[in-house]
Structure 1
């Protein structure tokens, strides 16, 4: 028994109306799927539902694509008017949400250890001139949290890939510094090399996706046939500091931490020569810093806010100066 017409129309959903219009105007189901950002199976199911509701083929498949039936030609103006109203409603809702975001939005940014403190100082220096942020340490589950919407974006050193997120390499890792107690015997050498460093216990701060399984210094030892140093792995900065002072350990740190580490009592810090950094990463790609985000159409922040955030990040990394902004891809 056929359903009354009003009940059939009541079964129409917004997506089906948008799909009808997209296929009618493009003549292709795959183009309509891209426009609506949905899968081909979802398009097929919705089209089948439309054909059932209207008891009509609606579109004939031809070599050049889909051609509308007479009924589709007849109902198109009404559906176009309905979908125009739906799109207008969507734009008004976005404007309303954007207005409230501007009033109180706070961005959650996850950052690899070694960058967080310097980035926090830069944001503090520009308070009131850039979006408000809450900084989090990058951890093993951070990419999943960005995908779930718990965090907005991340800045990480060689992170593990996530198929649902976009990754943009901003720059190579900004060099390395060697850190140890001020009275450590390593400082007696005028030209410190990796072989000297390997003679002492090595302290390793874990960077998920980069050195949480094996550190580049351990790989260097294996390549060169050297006995690897005792590697102590820590996740807490106070524990790291304690090992440096009490266990005669050595550690690598980012040059971005220079100001902070140089202010610690009893600690010495020196830049590792570029030649030794090259030897450390010989045979493997130089680690880089990556910006990790959701695809553009799923982000809750505007392109303007994104540009402001990335300008602070690029200043911190030394990619730009105050007078020379950098353009990042969307």
Structure 2
């Protein structure tokens, strides 16, 4: 263990918390290969794989589960030492924990760090997958903010409505037969194929809008599974006839970089048809009510990020969407 440095420890803790090595690389502003080397060094030192790649994301091994609290304690103690040894005129750096659904995790860390640089602030943060334990973690101080699809009912938590989703992208492999359909007539074709649900807890974790649509058509939608980690979606789609929906521009941009995957923005008429019985998702920012617990610039940046990711911002439907994707992956818009 003597060759394991603090950076490697921080990488392990962040990968354990997010189960997504790419998001960790983005958050730390390093190449993904550096994250892989750190994990490889740790695996070699411990003689354990630490993380096993499953169909929908990483799964920590029992050794990783045991190691995590000790490594997390090391980082906390280091933070306390730095706080006590810093000049009193310099405010101590605080580590923020933000819960976000998989479709909003892409680029979130890098956007927040870039804004921190503009503000002249030091920012240490972890972006973790949204889960049912999020509200309780906020109350117990284990997390600072949570992006959610519904408001919290807990008295000590405040909920800020951000916006309602206006975008939906259809994602499948390049040679999928569904791409032969015209943009305004895809839904009836989509329900002929297995559907991979990209999970959005509190929105489609029980039943997806496409399931309701299929039921209304007297059809049965075949579910291929549920993906809670965006990085595994492309692998699943490449090896099957499955199709999935993504509701955030940043997530679509992320998936567009995978070879063999095509993306098309759903037309406005079909978007409305799909959400006839199940309204589009609402987005909320949830945090503790304590005044000043999170800086206002961080809160505002989060809200701006969500709004720009899930709504038809000015010019996005015609110009911005084409800027996001390579020419062969641009969403096909309805005439």
| TM superposition score category, shorter chain reference | 0.5 to 0.7
- Distance apart, 1:140 and its partner CA: 1.5
RMSD between superposed Cα atoms in Å: 2.5
2:296 aligns with 306
After superposition, the Cα gap between the structure-2 partners of 1:205 and 1:160, relative to the gap in structure 1 and judged at 3 Å, is farther
Q: Provide, for residues 31-55 of structure 1, a one-character-per-residue CA deviation record: whole Å limited to 9, x for no partner.
A: xxxxxxxxxxxxxxxxxxxxxxxxx
User: Residue 273 in 1 paired to residue 263 in 2?
Assistant: no
1:85 aligns with none
Query: Is contact 2:102–2:228 with CA below 8 Å preserved after alignment?
Result: no
Query: Is contact 2:98–2:128 with CA below 8 Å preserved after alignment?
Result: yes
Matched residue count: 219
Query: Is contact 1:177–1:270 with CA below 8 Å preserved after alignment?
Result: yes
- Distance apart, 1:292 and its partner CA: 0.6
- Distance apart, 1:242 and its partner CA: 1.8
Higher relative contact order (CA 8 A, sep 6+): 2
User: Residue 167 in 1 paired to residue 159 in 2?
Assistant: yes
Query: Is contact 1:119–1:316 with CA below 8 Å preserved after alignment?
Result: no
Counterpart-to-counterpart distance in 2, 1:289 and 1:316: 8
Counterpart-to-counterpart distance in 2, 1:289 and 1:244: 27
- Distance apart, 1:286 and its partner CA: 2.6
After superposition, the Cα gap between the structure-2 partners of 1:315 and 1:232, relative to the gap in structure 1 and judged at 3 Å, is closer
> What pairs up with 1:63-212 in 2 under 5 angstroms?
102-130=91-119, 132=123, 133-158=125-150, 161-191=153-183, 192-212=185-205
- Distance apart, 1:163 and its partner CA: 4.6
Counterpart-to-counterpart distance in 1, 2:238 and 2:152: 33
Counterpart-to-counterpart distance in 2, 1:162 and 1:104: 29
After superposition, the Cα gap between the structure-2 partners of 1:143 and 1:186, relative to the gap in structure 1 and judged at 3 Å, is same
> What pairs up with 1:245-256 in 2 under 5 angstroms?
245-253=238-246, 254-256=248-250
Query: Is contact 2:195–2:221 with CA below 8 Å preserved after alignment?
Result: no
After superposition, the Cα gap between the structure-2 partners of 1:183 and 1:160, relative to the gap in structure 1 and judged at 3 Å, is farther
- Distance apart, 1:244 and its partner CA: 0.3
- Distance apart, 1:316 and its partner CA: 5.1
Q: Which residue, out of 237, 242, 252, partners 2:230?
A: 237
Q: Which runs of 5+ in 1 are unaligned?
A: 1-98, 322-330
- Distance apart, 1:121 and its partner CA: 3.1
Counterpart-to-counterpart distance in 1, 2:227 and 2:151: 19
> What pairs up with 1:25-44 in 2 under 5 angstroms?
none
Counterpart-to-counterpart distance in 2, 1:312 and 1:149: 19
**Structure 2 SS opposite 1:210:** coil
- Distance apart, 1:129 and its partner CA: 2.6
Counterpart-to-counterpart distance in 1, 2:280 and 2:138: 25
2:31 aligns with none
- Normalised by the length of structure 2, the TM-score is 0.59
**Structure 2 SS opposite 1:167:** strand
Counterpart-to-counterpart distance in 2, 1:246 and 1:314: 36
Query: Is contact 2:103–2:230 with CA below 8 Å preserved after alignment?
Result: no
- Normalised by the length of structure 1, the TM-score is 0.60
Q: Which runs of 4+ in 1 moved over 3 A?
A: 99-102, 124-127, 158-164, 236-239
> What pairs up with 1:281-296 in 2 under 5 angstroms?
281-296=275-290
After superposition, the Cα gap between the structure-2 partners of 1:209 and 1:315, relative to the gap in structure 1 and judged at 3 Å, is closer
After superposition, the Cα gap between the structure-2 partners of 1:236 and 1:286, relative to the gap in structure 1 and judged at 3 Å, is closer
Identify which range, 146-155 or 235-244, moves more after superposition: 235-244
Counterpart-to-counterpart distance in 2, 1:160 and 1:101: 35
- Distance apart, 1:146 and its partner CA: 0.8
